[in-house]
Amino acid sequence: MDGIGRVRIAVDIGGTFTDIALLTDTGLIHQSKISSTPADPSMAVVEGVAQLLAELSIDPAVVAEVLHGTTVGSNTILQRKGARTGLITTHGFRDVLEIGRIRMPDMFDLTWDKPAPLVPRRHRFEVNERMAADGSVVEPLSEATVIAAGEALAAQDIEAVAVVFINAYRNPAHELEAAAILRAHFPKLLVTTSCAVLPEMKEYERTSTTVVNAYLLATMRAYLQRLQEGLLGVGIKAPILVMTSNGGMLAADVTCEKPVMVVASGPAGGVVGAARLGLARDDRDVIVFDMGGTTAKAVIIEDGRPTMTSEYEFRDGISTSSRFVKAGGYMLKVPAIDIAEVGAGGGSLAAIDRGGLLVVGPESAGAMPGPACYGLGNDRPTVTDANVMLGFINPNSLAGGKLAIDRSRSEAAIRNHVGGPLDLPSADAAHGIRAVANAAMARAVRAVTIERGRDPRDLTLMAFGGNGGVHAPDLARQLGIPRVVVPPMSGVFSALGMLASDVEHTGLATVGRRIDVMTADDLRVIKDKLQAQIAAQLARDGYGAERTAFLWEADLRHEGQATELTVPFEGEDFAKIRERFVAEYLKTYGYQDHTPIELMKVRVAGRGLRDNRLDFRGMKIAPRRGAPGAGTRQISFARGEPARTVDVVARSAINSKPRSGPLIIEEFDATIVVPPDARVHKDAIGCIVLEFAP
Amino acid sequence: MKVDPITFAVIKSGLDSIADDMAYTVVRIARSEIVKDVMDFSAALCAGDGHMVAQAKTIAQHLGAIPEAMASVMDKFEGNLHEGDVVIMNDPYHGGMHLPDIFMFVPIFHGGARRAFAVVICHHTDVGGRVPGSNASDSTEIYQEGLRIPPLKLYDRGVLDKTLEALIRINVRVPDRVWGDLSAQFAAAQVGKRGLEKLIQRYGADEVDAYMQELLDYAERMTRAEIKHWPKGTYRFVDHIDDDGFSDQPIPIKVAITVNDDGTLFVDYTGSSPQVRGALNSTLSFTHSLTYLSVRCVLAKDLPNNVGLFRCIKVKAPEASVLNPVMPGPCAARALTGYRVFDTMLGALAQIVPDRVPAAGEGGNSVICISGLRPNRQPFIIVDMICGAWGGRPDKDGVEAITNASQNLSNMPVEVMEAEHPVRIEDYSFVQDSCGAGRHRGGVGIRRSYRILADEALLQMRTDRVRFAPYGLAGGAPGAQSRNFMEVGNERTALPGKITTRIGKDTLIIHEQAGAGGFGDPLERDPSQVVEDVLDGKITAAYASERHGVVLDSSRELDVAATARLRASRSGISEGARHGG
């Protein structure tokens, strides 16, 4: 076993497949993919990891850590399957959660609806207490009213409760007291206080974030506990780290307290990976396109960094975080990668609606029963069925032969549910399904490019997910994008991406003082306290002082402003900090302001320096069994065009010399379609690059 | 010009996105709550010839006001605008709306030619005049309302006019805030300028300009195509403002909309109230703005917001009326009149496109202004705006706690207000039973209570719908009226809708905003929805039985039999009441 050493495993759970990537400390990467188990997603993880370790004859005890991207948080909200959640507020503020910030996402739209609050009014209770804005007590907490609220919650079978009091960000005493009373009298109730989740001013943002945390708590804890136990059961004692919404890593025990940090965990791994891969191939401005079984997602990477947001709104359908428009969904004031998502993926079902229109998604056949061609009980056509029928995807088996499929079932499903009702030949119907799916996916790309004034024609489209390479060429053509890059291991790229990320813990101290009255010592005290706190967290993850690095940022503003500018700094020299801020302010806003400057927050990112973070430039991928062989297929690339003979080749057949389409490149679990008007080559890292003539 | 669909889409969205970036900049660096939290400001881009081509998702009411303001700027400065110039203006009689709204115009040049304007409008906390906040509804001349600024250059070729700065600073009560917010406007314009330069670099100045013009034509084509499908004829409606605070005389707003064959509208306000003594007069530019946006609300969602739309609508408002005042008519509280124009327009539009128009909403945000001195003798001014509720809609319920659709206001967080000002909010919640009943009910109203912590304060309230409740449609009931109270010790007294008065420490001021009107027969409402509303405490069981004929049993579940009996006995009465009323 010496040759294997300490291995790291990354697992990404999608709606359809669970992907696993394993990195040995010699830099060799192995991969695996199995069907997800939505009823208990941890089952697939444990089974898949155990299988892979067994295949490779690796002792589970040498696994150093398990990195994990999960959709448990987002699915729980989407399907409204979170805990029955209650809310306890200061007297007079029962409706803060539902009132929100009043605004609407679009002007002139009289048909708009606010999302229903996660806690209906009947489950929101008020208690007598009041803090003043300066943190002094106006009215002490009435224990009797807390107990009465607890009893009312218990009578309504409430499982989790958020406690959010006005001005608790200044003085959390009443929240803590109320939480203690509730825990003592109602031990079964899971209590979340706002001061523990988001100790910041503005009651709605704090309430909403705390409520989502409470809503997710039970589900996330149960899930991570099952996962931990399952992994222990197969001999893996390594710590679990969960990918956060902003692409960092959080220890499982912290995730169990603050699940709100990992709501958008699922897609983050791929984005982090795409950013690193882009840097490795000198492509700093990239559209990331991740097409899975249930949804497709798009993110912009600018100058090597994914675009981030400090708060976002989680909602159904297309979810684009807007920095400006509020009220689209459930407000989460946590840092996150700025992602647009649409409900169209390989498993999305095609149907004819009442008006006779062909629609695709958001309903999905998921992993079970899956597309019609799986033969597992679904006879309605999906996007994958259209691809199978037209020959874009291998008509005999998927996942390197692990999953046998039946093309005739795809054809029957399309004929019965789309072709027949529309009186179209089945091939035309299949092209139609693809076109509708492409249009939906293009919306996600448009949301992060065109709708923000960025021309997609200046960018590279980096596509992954099992179907990414099948549809990306169509999107590129639709939007005029000149280049499509499909990374190695594109079918499990989200898992791969996690291996390229750092363990990172972030800390924040609220200051709120003018810098002209602060001394270097004041700042040192703040920094020392923060650094000690983050260092302790890193130590728990196994990173001692010699393997950590700390990056400092200051949030500054001119007195009276609502938002800050963030500038990096080192040391404690306020003259330098001021200089940076003044320069940044002038650059951003085009004028110099002479009013006093306030230091609002000090932030730190503490990183655990790994010796074996994945480096794309030196990546070695283990060969795998079941790679498909060469051959030819008859394919019609567009509706009405006659089918032509197209070569099917393995990824290894592509080299640095450009080659003209049409061509199908098949790998273990992903397919790349090279249309007739594209040229294809492989870059030094192993990415497949498609280029379209302008 | 050959229109490339992708370039067109990118430039269209690019302009919208630049406008949004400008707006975002204002939020980030403005100093006053009314701008950074309540978001009473807007940002737009105009083509080099001054035609507005894009507006941020900010205040809809400002939408149509830019053309008149721009015309007034051009009138004075055409031929004399240079790189680095910044023009400001707030005078209602020079294309402005009311004095607190200061417009800022920044011309954008490329290759020596003027290619565009960045325009930013902010509602300033104070612009002087007889009352803090410069927003009183009981002024009788514009000269009482504050500092009037005709179009003037604040910067001339990049050089600040220190005389103008000094004049503004000395005339306003909170000069640092006003200057801070003007700086935010300036910064936003720079962001707009930079964004546009990027767009021009990518596509070329002539190309961007050509697409800007195409955007206007496109909006006009789309608007006409839609109006052509509307039933031809003239449609009338009348609604009222309670009074102007001086007399109890109601102020009628009357409209007649004529749908023409060529896809245009003629909107005639003849018969509306003459100019009033108080500050409710709406300038013609503001009347135009509200007219355009009312029509915009019933058109397809994806239409661009620009002058192309305005070309399809002709407006007539008689001179010296409340919708087209003459000097020296006061205008500070004109927003209320705008809201009623919106309600009146929608009432008429409901007859043209009945499947698109909701019953009346709360009738416009209430303005609660509390000002005074802090213990350190520094002045404070709170300008708080309360929103709102939407009426029941043809296919579903209205919405509660929502901006008036003619605005896009936010609310001032309680914690922000308490951290900045000597006041404590004791209640911010829904008003039970305040919704207008209907098959689809209106949203319930909102209550907000203020405890005064300063030794003494000046209270100004501008609220409405105390007498004239928000109307229902298609048999729906009107929403509940607004109510105001004052509590000193344990004694509660009612206050009128509009008032300016001194109040002492520990006084509690309570405002309950009107609920929205209902749509359709309340007896046809799905009983299970009624039960849900009772369980959530939005309505009482008494309201459920009186208005909806729905009975709950002792375990608070629907009593099907009793409900059927009650509804059967009531349908006749309800029918009669409807015919009688």
A109, B29: Cβ pair inside 8 Å?
no
Tell me which chain B residues have a C-beta less than 8 angstroms from the C-beta of A593: 183
Kindly tell me if the per-residue pLDDT of A371 is higher than 50.
Answer: yes
Band (pLDDT 50/70/90 cuts) for residue A334 is confident
In A226-284, DSSP assigns E strands to 240-243, 249-251
CA distance A213 to A77: 11
With 60 as the cut, is the pLDDT of residue A320 above it? no
Residue A101 DSSP code: T
Q: Is the pLDDT of residue A309 over 80?
A: no
> Quick check: A327 pLDDT over 50?
no
Q: Which residues of A touch B387 (CB under 8 A)?
A: 102
pLDDT value for A323: 42
**A403 pLDDT higher than 80:** no
Interface test with A, best of B11, B16, B28 (most A CBs within 10 A): B28
Residues of A in contact with B16 (CB under 8 A): 451, 453
Partner-chain contact B183 A133, CB within 8 Å: no
pLDDT number for residue A2: 38
Q: Which residues contact B525 (CB under 8 A, 6 or more apart)?
A: B437, B438, B439, B440, B441, B548, B550
First to last CA, chain A: 52
Asked if residue B576 has pLDDT above 60, the reply is no
Inter-chain contacts counted by CB atoms under 8 A, chains A and B: 191
Say what the pLDDT of residue B61 is. Answer: 77
Note whether B28 contacts A169, CB cutoff 8 Å: no
Lowest mean pLDDT among A614-623, A685-694, B173-182: A614-623
Chain A interface test: which of B178, B429, B441, B449 (most A C-beta within 10 Å): B429
Against a cut of 0.95, is the pTM above it?
no
Q: Write the residue in B405, B411, B419 that is nearest to A201 by C-beta.
A: B419
How confident is residue B79, by pLDDT bands cut at 50, 70 and 90?
Answer: very high
Most trustworthy range by pLDDT among A305-319, A470-484, B48-62: A470-484
Q: Which of A318-332, A585-599, A608-622, B335-349 shows the lowest per-residue confidence on average (mean pLDDT)?
A: A318-332
Residue A324 to residue B194, Cβ atoms within 8 A? no
Which chain B residues contact residue A109 at CB under 8 A?
A: 297, 301, 405
Q: A101: which chain B residues are within 8 Å (Cβ-Cβ)?
A: 410-411
DSSP of A513-570: EEGGG--HHHHHHHHHHHHHHHHHHHHHTT--GGGEEEEEEEEEEETT-SS-EEEEE-
- pLDDT at B486 > cutoff 90: yes
Q: What is the pLDDT of residue A620?
A: 83
pLDDT at B112 over 60: yes
Residues of A with Cβ-Cβ distance to B419 under 8 angstroms: 133, 201
Cα–Cα dist A46/B48, whole Å? 64
Looking at residue B572, its pLDDT comes to 61
Q: Give the helix ranges, DSSP H, for B45-142.
A: 66-77
* Residue A673 C-beta-side C-alpha neighbours within 13 Å: 25
B24 chain-A contacts, CB cut-off 8 A = 323-324
| Across A453-458, average pLDDT | 80
Residue A453 pLDDT grade (very low, low, confident, very high; cuts 50, 70, 90): low
Strands (E), A6-100: 7-13, 17-23, 28-35, 63-69, 85-90
Give the pLDDT mean for A44-53. 95
**pLDDT given at position A306:** 86
Q: Is pLDDT at A401 greater than 70 in this prediction?
A: no
Q: Do B27 and A93 touch (CB under 8 A)?
A: no
Average the pLDDT over A518-547 and give the result: 89
CA-based nearest distance A160→chain B, Å: 19
- Strand A644-650 and strand A663-666: pairing? parallel
DSSP secondary structure of B364-404: S-EEEEEEEE-TTS-EEEEEEEE-EE----SSS---EEE--
Does residue A113 contact residue A100 with C-beta atoms inside 8 Å? Answer: no
Residue in A closest to B385 by C-alpha: A102
Preferred mutation among A97, A108, A123 to probe B, highest tally of B CBs within 10 A:
A108
What pLDDT was estimated at residue A293? Answer: 79
Listed range (A554-563, B117-126, B395-404, B414-423) with the worst mean pLDDT: A554-563
How far apart (Å, rounded) are the C-alpha atoms in residues A404 and B219? Answer: 53
Interchain proximity B538–A120, CB inside 8 Å: no
The pLDDT of B13-34, averaged and rounded, is 84
Find the range with the poorest average confidence among B22-36, B117-131, B213-227.
Answer: B22-36
pLDDT, average across residues B311-326: 96
Nearest to A348 by CA among A477, A439, A415: A439
Q: How many CA atoms lie within 13 A of A692 on its CB side?
A: 23
Structure tokens at A670: 């992903």
Q: What's the confidence (pLDDT) of residue A315? A: 66
Q: Looking at A43-57, A578-592, B349-363, B539-553, which range is the least confident one?
A: A578-592
User: Which chain A residues touch B28 with a CB distance below 8 Å?
Assistant: 561-563
Q: What is the mean pLDDT of residues B122-130?
A: 93
What confidence category does residue B235 fall into, taking pLDDT thresholds of 50, 70 and 90? very high
- Return the residue in B4, B29, B420 with the most chain A beta carbons within 10 A, the one to mutate for interface testing: B29
Cβ-defined contact of A99 to B14 (cutoff 8 Å):
no
Q: Does the pLDDT of residue B436 top 60, yes or no? A: yes
Q: Kindly provide the ipTM of the predicted complex, given to two decimals.
A: 0.89
pLDDT at residue number B526: 97
pLDDT at A629: 63
HSE-up of A629 (CA within 13 Å, CB side)?
2
Residue A108: which of B60, B186, B388 has the nearest Cβ? Answer: B60
Please provide the average confidence, as pLDDT, over all residues in chain A.
Answer: 88
With CB atoms and an 8 Å threshold, state whether A589 touches B190: yes
B498 Cα to chain A: minimum distance (Å): 24
pLDDT in tens, A638-664: 888 888 999 999 888 999 999 998 999
The per-residue b/e assignment along B164-190, b for 16 or more CB within 10 angstroms, e otherwise, is beeebeebbbbeebbbbbbbbbbbbbb
What is the DSSP-derived secondary structure letter of residue B473?
B
The whole-number average pLDDT for the span A265-277 is: 90
* DSSP symbols for B74-98: HHHHTT---TT-EEEE--GGGT-SS
Q: How far is B326 from chain A (nearest CA, A)?
A: 30
b/e B430-466 (16+ beta carbons within 10 angstroms → b): bbbbbbbbbbbbbbbbbbbbbbbbbeebbbbbbbbbb
CA distance A105 to chain B (A): 8
CA of A129 to nearest chain B CA: how many angstroms apart? Answer: 11
pLDDT, tens digit, 9 for 90 and up, residues B331-364: 999 999 999 999 999 999 999 999 999 999 999 9
Residues of A whose CB is below 8 A from B187: 588-591
Cα A527 to Cα A178: distance, rounded to the nearest angstrom = 31
- On the question of a cis peptide bond just before residue A662, with omega within 30 degrees of 0, the verdict is yes
Q: How confident is the model at residue A627 (pLDDT cuts 50, 70, 90)?
A: low
Q: In B, which residues are within 8 Å of A324 by CB distance?
A: 20, 23-24, 27, 56-57
* CB B435, CB B443: distance < 8 Å: yes
Residues of B in contact with A120 (CB under 8 A): 536
Residue B555 burial (C-beta neighbours within 10 Å; 0-12, 13-18, 19+)? exposed
Residue A194's pLDDT is: 96
- Ranking A80-89, A429-438, A538-547, B119-128 by mean pLDDT, the lowest is A538-547
CB–CB contact A95 B301 (8 Å): no
Burial group, residue A308, by CB count within 10 angstroms (0-12, 13-18, 19+):
middle
CB contact under 8 A, A132 and B28: no
Cα of B437 to nearest chain A Cα, Å = 19
Rounded to a whole number, what is the distance in Å from the CA of A593 to chain B's nearest CA? 8
Average of pLDDT values for A623-630? Answer: 64
Q: A262, A255 in Cβ contact below 8 A?
A: yes
Name the range with the highest mean pLDDT among A311-315, B34-38, B496-500. B496-500
Distance, in Å, from the CA atom of A105 to the CA atom of A115, rounded to the nearest integer, reads 12
Cβ of B186 within 8 Å of Cβ of A109? The answer is no
State the pLDDT at residue B20: 82
Q: Do A103 and B410 touch (CB under 8 A)?
A: yes
Cross-chain Cβ contact B56/A324 below 8 Å: yes
User: For A188-213, what is the mean pLDDT?
Assistant: 94
Q: Cβ–Cβ of B17/A451 closer than 8 Å?
A: yes
Q: Does the pLDDT of residue B400 top 80, yes or no?
A: yes
Partners of A95 on chain B (C-beta within 8 Å) are 401, 428-430
Phi, psi at B494, each rounded to 5°: -80, 145
Chain A residues inside the 8 Å CB shell of B396: 113
Secondary structure of residue A396 in the 3-state scheme:
coil
Contact A120, A195 (CB under 8 A): no
Report the gap between the CA of A21 and the closest CA in chain B (Å).
Answer: 39
Pick from A664, A693, A655, A666: which is nearest to A677 by CA?
A: A693
pLDDT tens digits, one per residue of A14-43: 767 889 999 987 888 999 888 888 888 999
Read out DSSP for A104-139? -SSTT-TT--PPPPSS-GGGEEEES-EE-TTS-EEE
Predicted pLDDT of residue B580: 35
Inter-chain touch A561–B358, beta carbons under 8 Å: no
Q: Is B245 left (phi over 0), alpha (psi -120 to 50) or beta?
A: left
Residue-averaged pLDDT of chain B: 92
CA-nearest of A602, A617, A610 to A241 is A610
Which letter does DSSP use for residue B137 in this model? S
CA atoms within 13 A on the CB side of B17: 22
> If you ran DSSP here, which 8-state letter would residue B353 be given?
S
